[in-house]
Amino acid sequence: MNYKETLSYLYTQLPMFQRTGPAAFKKNLGNILKFCDYLGNPHQKLKCIHLAGTNGKGSTGHLLASVLQAAGLKVGLYTSPHYRDFRERIKINGTYIEKKQVVNFVAHHKTEIRKIGPSFFEITVALAFDYFAKEKVDIAIIETGLGGRLDSTNIITPMVSVITNISFDHQQFLGDTLPKIAGEKAGIIKAKVPVVIGEKQREVFTIFKEKAKSEKAKLFVANEQKNYEVVLEKETLKNSFYTIKKNGVVWDSNLPVNIHGLYQTKNIGTALMTFDVLNSLKDKSIPVLDLPTIKKGFSNLKKTTTFLGRWQQLDQNPLIIADSAHNEAGLKNIFPNQKLAKISYKKLHIVFGTVSDKAVEKVFPYLPNDAVYYFVKADIPRGFNAIKLQKAAAEFQLNGKAYTSVRRGLAAAKRKANKGDVILICGSIFVVAEVI
């Protein structure tokens, strides 16, 4: 098979959550353990950072990767899902895995794949572990897909575990309360492995504290006052600039970071706390991650890591922004007092689409009712029907027209938008994928 045929095989023969939803969700780690055992357990040869959380995993992972690269390390980064190219999921120092590596992996192991019957996600996780081990990366940053406890990535024993935050998402799998969701995310906490919590949330912190205690894992909270306080000072088209306080004292007053959005203050704090923990381990293979190294990594993040889809500017007049925010916490970071607060505009146009298994009644309250909406269906089987989405949104006083595709919706927004308006594309990573 060539690359295109290999991807077709992966997408059509194996259950893929992004396309089919619940049918692809596995309730145990049996398949990934069997498959990795067959591969020689490549994950056991890696030094890792493990990332879980409802929002911020991607941004935090790229922040970590860019600084570790700036320190001279060969860094593997596994994220999901992808926007346009499957290979976005598996990168070394910002470079996608080669097509031939994907083709050869599937071709060489197809018999075992048929025998074990792993899901699409299990195959990609095993591929990442195998690739990173063979390429001898110095450290691999591994992002969970869904949850934590039963996530296919949770067979690793990392140097440090990181949990960014907890919000409502995938309730049908993880539970219908924040404590239940937190319990699943806490499943990545391992015995005597330090864990960084990005945000101390009253409803769920006890769960992390008790899990860490039972595993004898040191617990660190990034946004506690004794640790890091991150304040956004200004933004340019290239960088955002932050004042960083550490233990209540200004550590840096002009830290440039090559990503945008007020919510990134949380992810930056989480990354900085993780660097402190890595430094405290005194692992000779990891250089000291000092301020000059952090500045170098943060200021060149998009170039060094190939960072996509988060508050990404697509055009200037009118200003068009794509952001993959898709759940309550993600949308709350955009509306009403977060990212858009930094932008002056006359009228807001929102191209919005989501997936069919999304509880839209939970996210609609976070959307502004004074915007003009263009409801769209992403080009995947899980895409929410645009007309049904339009009708559901109308009950929340969110009004607009329905379009059969993302591109048609965006084209309509461009026709109606005037100079000084803003067009925002959001609601699903799959909607954003079609326009970036």
- Flag whether pLDDT at 226 surpasses 90: no
Spans of all domains in the chain: 3-305, 312-433
Q: How many CA atoms lie within 13 A of 415 on its CB side?
A: 7
Mean pLDDT of the chain: 90
430 near 380, Cβ under 8 Å? Answer: yes
Q: Which tens digits make up the pLDDT trace of 282-324? A: 999 999 999 999 999 999 999 999 998 888 888 888 999 998 8
Q: What is the DSSP letter of 24?
A: G
Cis peptide before 42 (omega within 30 of 0): no
Q: 24 vs 166, which has greater pLDDT?
A: 166
- In sequence order, what E strands does 136-267 have? 139-143, 160-163, 195-197, 219-221, 228-235, 240-246, 249-257
State mean pLDDT over 407-411: 97
Percent of the chain with pLDDT over 70: 91
Question: In the CATH hierarchy, which fold is given to the domain comprising 3-305?
Answer: UDP-N-acetylmuramoyl-L-alanine:D-glutamate ligase (3.40.1190)
Q: 204 or 168: whose pLDDT is higher?
A: 204
As a whole number of angstroms, the distance between CA 33 and CA 126 comes to: 9
Whether the pLDDT of residue 247 is over 60: the answer is yes
What average pLDDT does this structure show over 420-424?
93
Topology of domain 312-433 in CATH is Protein-Tyrosine Phosphatase; Chain A (3.90.190)
Specify which of 123-132, 217-226, 301-310 reaches the highest per-range mean pLDDT.
123-132
Give the closest residue to 388 by CA, choosing from 423, 410, 351, 360: 360
Section 399-407 average pLDDT: 96
Kindly list the distances between the CA atom of residue 339 and the CA atoms of 83, 262, 301, 421, in Å, as whole numbers in the listed order. 22, 6, 19, 15
Of 26-30, 144-148, 291-295, 411-415, the range with the lowest mean pLDDT is 26-30
Q: In this predicted structure, what is the pLDDT of residue 337? A: 47
State yes or no: cis peptide before 81, omega within 30 of 0.
yes
332 within 8 A of 261, measured Cβ to Cβ? no
State how far the Cα of 330 lies from the Cα of 312, in Å rounded to an integer.
15
DSSP 79-134: --S-SS-GGGGEEETTEEPPHHHHHHHHHHTHHHHHHH---HHHHHHHHHHHHHHH
107 versus 11: the higher-pLDDT residue is 107
Q: 337: alpha, beta or left, given left = phi > 0 and alpha = psi -120 to 50?
A: alpha
Assign 101 a pLDDT band (cuts: 50, 70, 90). very high
Please state, in angstroms and rounded to a whole number, the distance separating the CA atoms of residues 142 and 52: 9
Please indicate whether residue 64 or residue 337 has the higher confidence score (pLDDT). Answer: 64
Q: What are phi and psi of 206, to 5 degrees?
A: -60, -35
Distance CA 347, CA 114 (A): 53
State both tokens at 114: 């048929």
Of 11-15, 171-175, 385-389, 424-428, give the lowest mean pLDDT range: 171-175
Does the CA dihedral 343-346-351-357 come out positive or negative? positive
The pTM of the full predicted model, rounded to 2 decimals, is 0.86
Between 174 and 343, the more confident residue is 343
Tokens of 55: 């929002």
